[in-house]
Amino acid sequence: MLRVGLNNLRPGMALALPVRHPQSIQIVLLKVGYKVDDLSISKLRELGVNHVWVRYPSLEFLSRLINEELLLAQNKVVEKITASFVAAQQQACADMEFETYADSLTELVTYLASHPQAAMFMGDLVDSGGDLMRHCSSVAYLSLLMGMKLETYIVRERRHVQPAKAKEVVSLGVGAMLHDVGLLALPEEIRNRYTQTGDETDPIYRDHPRLGYQLVRGRVSPSAATAVLNHHQRFDGTGYAGDNVPVLDGRRIHIFARIVGLADQFDRLRHPAVGPARPGVFALAQLMADPLAAGFDPEVMRSLFRVAPPYPPGTVLRLCDGQWGVAINHNVRDPCRPVVQIIPDPATLGDLPETQAEQATSGAKPDAGAKVDAASEAGGAIINLINTPDLWVAQVEGEDVAPMNFPAPTMLAEMTSNPKSW
C-alpha cells in the first residue's frame, strides 16, 4: 500500500482502499481494486480528494495500519461531528443528545485498543479542504490517539477520579469533537475575517471557547465540556478561553484540554487559515520552535510524536540522493529519519507490470533495525535513515521538506522503551 497524492496518481494504479466522497462519506466513489484512469483522476481532483491508497507489491503489511474496518469506525465519528454542527447552525443544540456521540467514539476506541498497530495518525479523516468538519474530525481522532498513549499520565493527572474511570478517553474524544462548536455562535464576518487572515487576536473571535462551553455544558460530561472551554489555554500561562474566563497555566488546565489544545494547534499548522496545506513535518517543526513549544505540556508533546510521525508509513518520498522510497516505519526518538523502502519513480508505477514490480521489491523485509548501503543495486532495499546520516528525506508530494527536518528532540531521548511509562 502507498498513500499517493493526486499529483502522483497515474493511470493503471489499483486502489488498496475505497475512495469516499469528501463531502458525503457514505458515498463510495471508487471501490477496492479499481484501476484509475485519466477521467477518474480528473474527477477525484474536481471533488477535492487529495490522497488515495494504492496497491504495491511487498507493502501489503502496511494494511495493518489502516483498513476498511478502521475507516468505517472513523467515518461514524465524522458523521456525528457533521450532525452536531448542522444542528448548531440551526440553533438546535438544546434539543440534541450529545452524549449519544460517545457510542461512535467508544466503537473507535475499542477498535484501536484491539489493533494497537493502527493507533497512528495517517492523515485527515475527511480528505477535503480546510473546513470545520475536516478540522474537528482530525482533532478528535488525534486526541484519542494521544490519550490512549498517555493512559498512565492521565490517571496520574486525574487523581480525584477512580483509575478505571480516569483513563477512559471517550469524554476526551467528545470534547475534541466539539472543541470549536462555539465558532458557529460567532458573527459570520468574524469567522470570515479569521479565515482570510488567520489572526486570533480579535477579542470576539477569542470568545468562541466560552460560547462553545455554554452550548455543551450539561449535555456532555464535565471533562468534555472543560476541554471545549480551555483548549486554547496554554501550559506556560498564555492563551485564552473567552470573556471573563480566568487564564490558567500548567496542571491547572485539565489534561483533556491540554491534549485537545495540542491536537488543535498541530492541525492548524498543517492547514493554516491562509495558504495551502502543509506536511506533518512542517507542523511538528513549528511546534518545536521556541517559544511555541513552551505553550504545551511536554508529556503531551511526547505523545504527539509517538502517534503523528513526520513521515507516516505509506508516505511516498524522495531522498536527497534522488532515490524514491516509501516510509514503512518511524523512529520515535529521531522522527525525521524514518525507515524507508526504495521504490521506482512513482510516475512509472501505473504502467509497471505486477510481476516486474514484485521482482523490484523481492526479498525486502520491513525490519526497522536494518542498515542498508544506499548505493546497493537492488530496488526494494530497506534503509533505516537513523543509521545513514548522509541521507535524508528531501521531498514529499512535490514539496521541498529538507529545510523542515529537525534534529532528534531532547525531550524524546527521555522516553523509555515502554510507551505506557510516559
The predicted-structure confidence for 191-224, as pLDDT tens digits, reads as follows 989 988 888 999 999 999 999 999 989 888 999 9
Band (65; pLDDT cuts 50, 70, 90): confident
More confident residue, 356 or 388: 388
How far apart CA 203 and CA 184 sit, in angstroms, is: 16
Report pLDDT for 376.
34
Band (369; pLDDT cuts 50, 70, 90): very low
Locate CATH 3.90.105.10 in the chain. Answer: 2-55
The predicted-structure confidence for 244-301, as pLDDT tens digits, reads as follows 999 999 999 999 999 999 999 999 999 988 888 899 999 999 999 887 888 999 999 9
Per the CB < 8 A criterion, the answer to whether 62 and 314 are in contact is yes
Report pLDDT for 366.
43
**Please, what is the average pLDDT of the chain?**
85
How far apart CA 198 and CA 171 sit, in angstroms, is: 29
Helices (H), 90-131: 102-114
How far apart CA 135 and CA 260 sit, in angstroms, is: 12
pLDDT more than 90, % of the chain: 55
Band (143; pLDDT cuts 50, 70, 90): very high
Q: Which CATH number fits domain 68-307: 3.40.605.10, 3.20.20.140, 1.10.3210.10, 1.10.274.10?
A: 1.10.3210.10
The predicted-structure confidence for 312-366, as pLDDT tens digits, reads as follows 999 999 999 999 999 999 999 999 999 999 998 887 776 544 444 444 433 444 4
The predicted-structure confidence for 231-241, as pLDDT tens digits, reads as follows 999 999 999 99
Locate CATH 1.10.3210.10 in the chain. Answer: 68-307
Using alpha carbons, select from 334, 270, 271, 264 the residue that is nearest to residue 295.
Answer: 264
Report pLDDT for 252.
96
Is the predicted pLDDT of residue 129 greater than 60, yes or no?
A: no
The predicted-structure confidence for 70-89, as pLDDT tens digits, reads as follows 888 888 888 888 777 777 66
Report pLDDT for 212.
94
Report pLDDT for 360.
40
Using alpha carbons, select from 123, 159, 162 the residue that is nearest to residue 314.
Answer: 123
Report pLDDT for 89.
67
Is the predicted pLDDT of residue 69 greater than 70, yes or no?
A: yes
More confident residue, 377 or 269: 269
Is the predicted pLDDT of residue 383 greater than 90, yes or no?
A: yes
Is the predicted pLDDT of residue 159 greater than 90, yes or no?
A: yes
Is the predicted pLDDT of residue 125 greater than 90, yes or no?
A: no
How far apart CA 380 and CA 378 sit, in angstroms, is: 6
- pTM of the entire structure? 0.88
Q: What is the mean pLDDT of residues 139-161?
A: 95
Residue that has been written with the C-alpha cell 491540554 in this structure? 258
Is the predicted pLDDT of residue 370 greater than 70, yes or no?
A: no
Fold of 2-55: Molybdopterin biosynthesis moea protein, domain 2 (3.90.105)
Report pLDDT for 240.
96
More confident residue, 1 or 30: 30
The predicted-structure confidence for 2-55, as pLDDT tens digits, reads as follows 888 888 899 999 999 999 887 777 789 999 999 999 999 999 999 888 889 999
Report pLDDT for 80.
80
More confident residue, 378 or 399: 399
Report pLDDT for 355.
44
| DSSP secondary structure string for all residues of 28-84 | EEE-TT-B--HHHHHHHHHHT--EEEE--TT-GGGGGTS-HHHHHHHHHHHHHHHHH
The pairs formed by 103-108 with CB atoms below 8 angstroms and a separation of 24 or more are: 104/73, 104/76, 104/77, 104/79, 104/80, 105/77, 105/80, 105/140, 105/144, 105/170, 105/173, 105/174, 105/177, 106/170, 107/73, 107/76, 108/73, 108/74, 108/76, 108/77, 108/141, 108/144, 108/173
Report pLDDT for 333.
92
